[in-house]
Every structure is written in structure tokens, then in C-alpha cells.
Structure 1
Amino acid sequence: MWYSVLQKSHMHTCANLLKKAAHNLKGKSAADQRWIVRQLNDPFVKAAHAYNYRCRSAFKLLEMDDKYKLLKPGLNVIDCGAAPGAWSQIAVQRVNSTGSNEALPRGTVVGIDLQRIAPLDGAHFLSNYDITDPVTHAKLLELLPGGRAHIILSDMAPNASGFKEMDHEKLITMALSLMDLAHTVLEPGGALVCKYWDGALAHLLQEKLSAVFRDVRTVKPKASRKDSSELFFLARSYGEVK
């Protein structure tokens, strides 16, 4: 269903786009102008508005979940780097954390970010919390039913410095910190989805994941821009390595 809306949104006329661009580009730097034009022409941005998702990244998780069936009613989910909350919106819908469908089990969604996250029905947000801090881990143990999560999601990334190798290293380090979180709260057989930028250290993250997850694969959703080095590791069957 969401894909049909995406197709329709992409059929806006060039004239309308140019009118919007002309209004928004005045007084902007060249970099800002490029960003605005890209946003105006991005069908996933338009579709996010149509579905009232907080940002276009919602479609990355939607595509992965549609294919790999990770999010199911009744599951407990941690969303790392949750701001502005688009992945949490998808998780809330699919694990039934609002309890809107009384015939299905009710799940739990906890989102964490260093930034503030606007409230979302069905999600408990830990704003201004560091995912690497033991205090955060202790808080998660309190919030999650039974102190366990079935899925850890991570779309977190460092602020870009403009130095590709440095940013790559920072993101790999952030993703590696999820291993400690998994050790603390992830249910045996659970799954982890984490973003990384392709580069020299990607193999290190893959090796660490493969040591504790039976199935680890690389995924690039269609909503990830083609010119981006963004990829995701999808790791399943935690603790079931032979």
C-alpha cells in the first residue's frame, strides 16, 4: 500500500517542484540549495508526509521488515538513535505496543537518543540518554517486560565531519557498542539491525556480529540513497552460533 502512495507522490509536476524550490532557495548557501532540491525531488520524503511518518527513514525499516518479518505483535523492541522517531513509529504499529488490536499480543517499544524525542503513543522514549552508559542499560532492564528485548534496532550515526574515513570509524565504534547492549538485554534467538557506512572497518563489525548471531547479512533498502555508502547489517538468531 505504501508503495502505491510513493509512486503517486513521484508524479508531481516539475513546475510545482520548481515553484517550491524558487521560494525555498533564496538566500541559501550552495550546499543548502542542493539539499533542498534533493528533498523536493525525493519520493520517499513526499511519501513520509503522506503517511505522517516523522522522516523518510521509516521506509528503510518498512522494506526490511516486509522482507524479513522481524517485527511481530507482542515483541519488545529497542530503537537506538531513535530521534526523530520514524523507526519507533513503524515498530509501534507492528508490535502492537498501543494495544489497538485487542486480539493480538501487546509489545513494547523503547527509543533512546542523545537528543530529545517528541512523545509518541505506544513508545517510551529515553531522551538525552547515552546507549553506552550503564545507567541506560539499567533503565532498559526496568522498562522492558522481563528485562528482555527481542529486537534491537539502530539507525544511529555520528554527526558528519566531512572526513569520510573518520565518520566511518565513528559509526563502526557506535555499532560495536550495541554488542554490550545485546549481551545485557537481548533475548536468545533475538535480532539486531544496525546501520553502518561501508569502509575498511566494516569487516570487523561483521566478524563481531557473526560471533554471536547465527545469520548475519548486509542489506541496502531502496530508501537508502544510491549515492550513499549507507548499509545495514541484519543479524538474527542471537546466541545460536554453532
Structure 2
Amino acid sequence: MWTSRSTAHASLSYTKMCFLVNCLKRLKSSQQWLSRQKADPYVEKAKICNYRCRSAFKLLEMNEKTNILTPGLTVIDLGASPGSWTQVAVQKTNADGADPKKPKGSVLAIDKLQIFPIEGAIILNNMDFSTIEAHDKVVKALGDRKVDLVLSDMAPSATGVRELDKDRILGLCYMAIRFAALVTRIDGNLLFKVWDGKEVPILEMDLERFYKSIKILKPQASRSESSEKFILARGFKGIQRPLENGRWG
């Protein structure tokens, strides 16, 4: 009996110790994040320019090099919350009609999370873009229009397991590609985020079957320690066969 109680006490003490260690790790990680935020010039710049987060400058920089966002275009922003890419898309496509002399574009933002309203954008909250329901709502919102550009700055919540996290973002990439194939006009474009790894060349090969050109972009606004990069697929060729399980048969 004494041995059993002793073992139980030791086990409880070990559990408490593990809990405390994990708490300290999380505290340290939070402190590092706060320090990094304070030292990041893009965080302050986002506040000054009234963007919802610093990621707006990634899209602005990439657009400066590629000119994929112009007045009059129809754009969909996948996984848009909190909405900084949507803000940029609205400005660059003139979706809010701010410049009456330029063509007025259309921007639709979709996310599982809540997105606060953005003037000039159609918001689909609490919506999983990969579902049939979401596709039907997008088609209804766009009417007869096909999409000129699909954007995705999505990334899954990190598990801390590197290979698992890579698999999860790769899955998101293929879902974005599949969605884009269903709504994009011929010669339309797709820009999405991926994490660097050995799977990326395979992803590029898949894209080359359906787009005329593929380009890898790494904006300066991406943090130097981040493995993220962006793939721009231009010139959608259309699809000849039905999509199956997120991949082409």
C-alpha cells in the first residue's frame, strides 16, 4: 500500500513539473513574440496605414513586382481573416469605387473566422471555402463573373511537429488550387503561401499542368526566420477532367 501511494505521489509530482515546464516555455515564446512585434517596423507601419496586420505589406510588395492587382479585377481572398490582404485588394482593384475615373473591381473575402466589414468587399464569415456550400455562395455572390485572381495567405495553426505542419499547409495549398480551378477565368492567376520543403517542386509540377507560368516570391516583409514563400501561378489554362479528392486525376 505504501509503495502504491508513493508511486502515485511521484507520478503527480512529475505531471505538475511537466505542466510548469510547458507553462514556462509558452511564457518565453510569448515574450519573444512580443519583443519581435515591438522591433518589427512593419507592425508600426501597418498601424499608421490602417492595415489590420503587417501581412498587407507582403502583398503590396509582391504586387509592385508582378502587377497582379489592377482596377476592375474580380478577386477572391481565401482564409482572409483578419482582412489585411482584402484591404489591399480592395484598394488596388478600386472595389470601393474610390477613384471614379478607374474601372471598379470586385473583392470577395472568405474565412472560417469572423471578418469585420471592409468597405468595398463582400465578406463570407464562418465559411469553409473547401465545401460545396461555400462554392455555391461564391458563385451566387459573383453572378456570371469568373475570377481574375485567387489569393491565399492561409497557414494552419502550428502543432510544433515540423513534418505534420508541412503536410497540413500542403493540404491547404491543394484545396486552394482546386477552388481556384473551379472559379477562375481562362488566363486568370493564383497567388498562395507555402512553406519551403522538398514537396514544393512537386507542387510546382502539378501547377505547371494548369498554368502557363510559375514564379516563386519571397517578399522582404516576410520575416527572415520564416520558411514561408509564395507561389504565383499565371495564365490558367482551364481543366479538362473532373477534380478528384483535391488532386487532378
AA in 1 matched with 2:139: L
In 1, Cα distance between equivalents of 2:225 and 2:104: 39
Q: Which residue of 2 aligns with 1:167?
A: 165
**Structure 2 CA distance for aligned equivalents of residues 131 and 171 of structure 1:** 15
Per-residue deviation, residues 178-210 of structure 1 (Å, max 9, x unmatched): 222122110111110000001122122211211
Note the 1:12-23 alignment, pairs <5 A: none
Task: Give the Cα–Cα distance (whole angstroms) in 2 for the partners of residues 198 and 140 of structure 1.
Answer: 30
| Contact persistence 2:90–2:121 (CA under 8 A) | yes
Which of 236, 239, 245 in structure 2 is aligned with 1:238?
236
Matched, 1:50 2:48: yes
Q: Distance in 2 between matches of 1:195 and 1:94?
A: 20
Structure 1 residue 225 corresponds to structure 2 residue 223: yes
Runs (4 or more) in structure 1 with deviation over 2 Å come to none
2:17 aligns with: none
Stretch of structure 1 that moved more, 142-151 or 45-54: 142-151
Gaps of 5+ in 2: 1-25, 240-249
Instruction: Tell me how far apart the structure 2 counterparts of residues 112 and 204 of structure 1 sit (CA, whole Å).
Output: 27
Contact kept, 8 Å, 1:215 with 1:236, in 2: the verdict is yes
Kept in 2: contact 1:220–1:232 (CA 8 A)? yes
Q: CA deviation at 1:142?
A: 1.1
User: What secondary structure sits across from 1:177 in the alignment?
Assistant: helix
1:136 and 2:134 correspond? yes
Query: Hey, what's the Cα distance between the residues in 1 that align with 2:70 and 2:142?
Result: 16
- Secondary structure of residue in 2 paired with 1:232: strand
Q: Is the 8 A contact 1:48 1:54 kept in 2?
A: yes
Identity over aligned residues, as a percent?
41
Give the match for residue 29 of structure 1. 27
Which secondary structure does the structure 1 equivalent of 2:213 belong to? strand
Cα distance in 2 for residues equivalent to 1:182 and 1:225 = 27
1:105 corresponds, among 95, 103, 106, to 103
Within-5 A mapping of 1:71-82: 71-82=69-80
CA contact (8 A) 1:131 1:137 kept: yes
Which of the numbers 177, 199, 209 marks the counterpart of 2:197? 199
- Matched to 1:192, the amino acid is L
User: Structure 1 residue 64: deviation in Å?
Assistant: 0.4
Distance (Å, rounded) in 2 between the aligned partners of 1:78 and 1:233? 16
**Aligned AA (1:124):** I
Larger radius of gyration: 2
Residue by residue over 1:23-53, the C-alpha shift from the partner in whole angstroms, topping out at 9 and shown as x without a partner, is xxxxx81111100000000011111011010
Supply the AA of the counterpart residue of 2:78. C
Structure 2 Cα separation of the partners of residues 90 and 35 of structure 1: 25
Aligned to 2:29, what secondary structure does the other structure show?
A: helix
Asked if structure 2 preserves the Cα contact closer than 8 Å seen for 1:165 and 1:199, the reply is: no
For 1:154 and 1:109, locate their aligned partners in 2 and report how far apart those are by CA, in whole Å.
13
Query: CA separation in 1, counterparts of 2:205 and 2:171?
Result: 14
Shift of 1:145: 4.5
Q: Is the 8 Å Cα contact of residues 78 and 129 (structure 2) preserved in structure 1? A: yes
Conserved 8 A contact 2:173-2:194: yes
Give unpaired runs (5+ residues) of structure 1. 1-27
Give TM-score, length-normalised by structure 2.
0.83
